């Protein structure tokens, strides 16, 4: 009881601010699936299943992790995205993230910090409770491995967003337990590596269909490969990513568009996917996709209209790249499925504009038949793919190329290009292949989660994002001032903030 009361106190300040922003544009945002408890018929209750289920529920429902706030922190900062919506809608946050005007008191940044630590503390509690129980059964060991994989994911997110952060592994039984100084990035990375190595040794290759979305060995090895890529440990990255590829558990969907439909939920390309559905028996969803749908009226009232393609992204596609029609909707043009008699209204470049933007996020678009099925125009039924197998392929290509194996890199790049209806790459040397991989990552993950972080780790952000106001300090957010205050000054602010 003491622990639960403390957690309520701990998160009230920042989360309340995040929740207000989270609900500001929402229509009936509800999370109706019991959090932290398996529902009847889903799984047998036993071991630490209830706590494990709570971790996945938190990935879906905790503000700042996979919701509208995630759009701000992970996407809008890149050159491929603009705020979108109406000019006055969320104008303050639009400037903060689109123009790199961060401050330590920003509520969205505070929500990202607090929410990831909330999940980390829940992971700690499961791990510590399970280890203290002495239960060595396979199910309990798997629950521990799940918690370690999710904890590693959260620390990797914090590492990318804040750089040096506190590594806290104990359960939070007292407010003082949360007070800790920042660890170096190398120390954070070492903990991530340990958690993922432990998790990979215990997690299953696959789960039965009733357990969709749970952590797998492939997820742990993918995150390890990604960590090594960020560290420029190319050989280690190649080893782990090749292990994922060779497992045979994942494959690219035949259609790029399929990945961004309800039918594509939990496809063979999915490695980490936040479970969202709008089936009548179990409605549980969040506002991630709703916040990015076309903003209009009538049949075009599909969302709030945030995260729209930039002109630079529109112009970056090669001719005949099939990914363009999936990613970019154009005002005054047919929808991405060329649905008969369904054309978007005029945009701002037309004499009598109806829509505020010229371009819209096609990945948030829903098929008309799906809207009819659920009797709503908002996308509340598409799961959120945080990591796709395409990322593994392109990371493996990058690692191979940096090790001098351009031919292997070309094989991987061509897998991505051929699915997009494009011919094989013409890159024949390491420098050209490096640029080809950068292009493919930009296009493949357009309006998703990778572009900003790729630019930073490649050292390209200062040049590419200069016209948006980017400076080197902006590779990291400021540490939230409220977290510094709670720590009584033990936490130190990031440089130049």
Taking the C-alpha atoms of residue 63 and residue 15, their distance in angstroms, rounded to an integer, is 7
Grade residue 399 by pLDDT with cuts at 50, 70 and 90: very high
Q: Which residues pair with 328 in a beta bridge?
A: 361
Q: Does residue 255 register a pLDDT over 70?
A: yes
Helices 185-202 and 138-162, axial angle in degrees (round to 10): 150
The pLDDT of residue 282: 55
Query: Under the phi-then-psi rule, with left for phi > 0, alpha for psi from -120 to 50, and beta for the rest, what region is 100?
Result: left
Are 58 and 150 within 8 A, CB to CB? Answer: no
Average pLDDT over residues 285-293: 83
Taking the C-alpha atoms of residue 239 and residue 145, their distance in angstroms, rounded to an integer, is 21
Q: Which residues pair with 235 in a beta bridge?
A: none
Choose among 88, 72, 86: nearest CA to 347.
86
Phi/psi at 478 (nearest 5 deg)?
Answer: -70, 150
Q: Does residue 5 register a pLDDT over 50?
A: no
The pLDDT of residue 1: 38
For the chain, the first-to-last Cα distance in angstroms comes to 38
Q: For 109-137, what is each residue's pLDDT tens digit? A: 999 999 999 999 999 999 999 999 999 99
Share of the chain above pLDDT 70, in %: 89
Mean pLDDT of all residues in the chain? 88
Grade residue 17 by pLDDT with cuts at 50, 70 and 90: very low
Average pLDDT over residues 454-482: 97
Grade residue 285 by pLDDT with cuts at 50, 70 and 90: low
Q: What is the DSSP string of 241-279?
A: HHHHHHT-S----S-TGGGGSGGGTT-TTEEEEE--EEE
- Residues 163, 169, 174, 179, CA torsion sign: negative
Tokens matching residue 410 = 């070309």
Are 189 and 159 within 8 A, CB to CB? Answer: yes
Taking the C-alpha atoms of residue 382 and residue 397, their distance in angstroms, rounded to an integer, is 29
Choose among 437, 464, 256: nearest CA to 362.
256
Grade residue 336 by pLDDT with cuts at 50, 70 and 90: confident
| CA 114 and chain centroid, separation | 16
Taking the C-alpha atoms of residue 182 and residue 490, their distance in angstroms, rounded to an integer, is 8
For 295, which DSSP code? Answer: -
Q: Which residues pair with 385 in a beta bridge?
A: 273
The pLDDT of residue 86: 86
CATH no. of 2-61+103-203+475-486: 1.25.40.890
Helices 234-246 and 389-402, axial angle in degrees (round to 10): 140
Query: Under the phi-then-psi rule, with left for phi > 0, alpha for psi from -120 to 50, and beta for the rest, what region is 84?
Result: left
Find the range with the poorest average confidence among 134-148, 341-355, 432-446: 341-355
The pLDDT of residue 419: 98
Tokens matching residue 205 = 């290759």
Taking the C-alpha atoms of residue 89 and residue 385, their distance in angstroms, rounded to an integer, is 27
Place of tokens 């750089």: 163
Are 16 and 111 within 8 A, CB to CB? Answer: no
Q: If DSSP codes are grouped into helix, strand and coil, which group holds residue 217? A: helix
Question: Burial letters for 257-278: b for 16+ Cβ neighbours within 10 Å, e otherwise?
Answer: bebbbbebbebebbbbbbbbbb
Average pLDDT over residues 159-187: 95
The pLDDT of residue 66: 78
The pLDDT of residue 22: 29
The pLDDT of residue 176: 85
182, HSE (Cβ side, Cα atoms, 13 Å): 20
Q: Which residues pair with 309 in a beta bridge?
A: 81
Tokens matching residue 204 = 């299953």
Average pLDDT over residues 190-203: 98
Taking the C-alpha atoms of residue 205 and residue 220, their distance in angstroms, rounded to an integer, is 10
Q: Does residue 463 register a pLDDT over 70?
A: yes
Q: What is the DSSP string of 88-117?
A: TTTHHHHHHHHTT---TT-HHHHHHHHHHH
Average pLDDT over residues 151-158: 98
Q: Does residue 430 register a pLDDT over 60?
A: yes
The pLDDT of residue 280: 53
Grade residue 139 by pLDDT with cuts at 50, 70 and 90: very high
Q: Does residue 286 register a pLDDT over 90?
A: no
Alpha-helix residue ranges (DSSP H) falling in 24-87: 49-61, 68-74
Taking the C-alpha atoms of residue 73 and residue 325, their distance in angstroms, rounded to an integer, is 25
Are 52 and 119 within 8 A, CB to CB? Answer: no
Taking the C-alpha atoms of residue 146 and residue 474, their distance in angstroms, rounded to an integer, is 32
The pLDDT of residue 379: 78
Are 241 and 392 within 8 A, CB to CB? Answer: yes
Taking the C-alpha atoms of residue 409 and residue 291, their distance in angstroms, rounded to an integer, is 36
Q: For 211-221, what is each residue's pLDDT tens digit? A: 889 999 999 99
Higher pLDDT, 346 or 252: 252
Q: For 238-247, what is each residue's pLDDT tens digit? A: 999 999 999 9
Contacts of 468 (CB under 8 A, 6+ apart): 77, 79, 98, 99, 100
Contacts of 265 (CB under 8 A, 6+ apart): 273, 276, 277, 382, 383
Biggest alpha carbon distance in the chain?
71
Taking the C-alpha atoms of residue 216 and residue 205, their distance in angstroms, rounded to an integer, is 6
Average pLDDT over residues 260-270: 92
The pLDDT of residue 281: 55
């Amino acid at each position: 009881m003491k622990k639960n009361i403390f957690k309520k106190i701990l998160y009230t300040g920042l989360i309340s601010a995040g929740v207000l922003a989270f609900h500001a544009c929402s229509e009936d945002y509800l999370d109706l699936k019991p959090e932290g408890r398996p529902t009847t018929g889903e799984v047998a209750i036993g071991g630490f299943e209830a706590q494990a289920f709570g971790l996945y529920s938190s990935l879906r429902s905790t503000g700042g992790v996979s919701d509208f706030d995630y759009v701000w922190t992970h996407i809008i900062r890149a050159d491929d995205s603009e705020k979108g919506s109406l000019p006055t809608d969320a104008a303050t946050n639009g400037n903060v993230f689109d123009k790199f005007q961060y401050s330590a008191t920003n509520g969205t940044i505070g929500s990202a910090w607090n929410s990831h630590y909330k999940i980390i503390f829940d992971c700690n509690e499961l791990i510590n409770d399970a280890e203290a129980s002495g239960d060595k059964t396979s199910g309990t060991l798997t629950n521990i491995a799940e918690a370690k994989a999710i904890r590693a994911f959260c620390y990797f997110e914090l590492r990318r967003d804040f750089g040096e952060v506190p590594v806290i592994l104990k359960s939070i039984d007292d407010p003082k337990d949360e007070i800790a100084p920042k660890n170096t990035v190398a120390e954070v990375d070492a903990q991530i590596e340990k958690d993922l190595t432990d998790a990979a040794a215990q997690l299953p290759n696959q789960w039965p269909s009733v357990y969709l979305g749970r952590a797998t060995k492939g997820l742990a090895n993918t995150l390890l490969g990604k960590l090594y890529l960020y560290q420029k440990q190319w050989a280690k990255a190649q080893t782990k990513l090749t292990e994922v590829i060779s497992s045979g558990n994942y494959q690219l969907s035949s259609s790029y568009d399929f990945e961004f439909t309800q039918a594509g939920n939990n496809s063979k390309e999915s490695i980490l996917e936040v479970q969202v559905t709008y089936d009548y028996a179990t409605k549980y969803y969040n506002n991630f996709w709703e916040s990015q749908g076309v903003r209009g009226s009538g049949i075009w009232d599909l969302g709030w209209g945030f995260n729209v393609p930039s002109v630079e992204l529109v112009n970056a596609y090669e001719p005949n790249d099939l990914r363009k029609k999936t990613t970019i909707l154009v005002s005054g043009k047919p929808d991405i499925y060329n649905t008969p008699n369904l054309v978007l209204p005029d945009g701002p470049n037309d004499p009598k504009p109806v829509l505020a933007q010229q371009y819209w996020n096609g990945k948030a678009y829903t098929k008309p038949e799906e809207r009819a099925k659920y009797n709503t125009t908002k996308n509340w039924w598409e799961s959120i793919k945080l990591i796709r197998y395409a990322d593994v392929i392109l990371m493996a290509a990058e690692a191979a190329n940096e090790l001098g194996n351009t031919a292997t890199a070309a094989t991987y790049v061509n897998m991505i290009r051929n699915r997009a209806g494009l011919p094989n790459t013409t890159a024949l040397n390491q420098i050209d292949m490096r640029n080809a991989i950068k292009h493919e990552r930009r296009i493949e993950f357009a309006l998703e989660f990778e572009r900003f972080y790729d630019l930073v780790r490649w050292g390209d952000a200062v040049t590419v994002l200069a016209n948006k106001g980017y400076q080197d300090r902006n590779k990291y957010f400021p540490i939230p001032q409220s977290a510094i205050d709670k720590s009584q000054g033990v936490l130190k602010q990031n440089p130049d903030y």
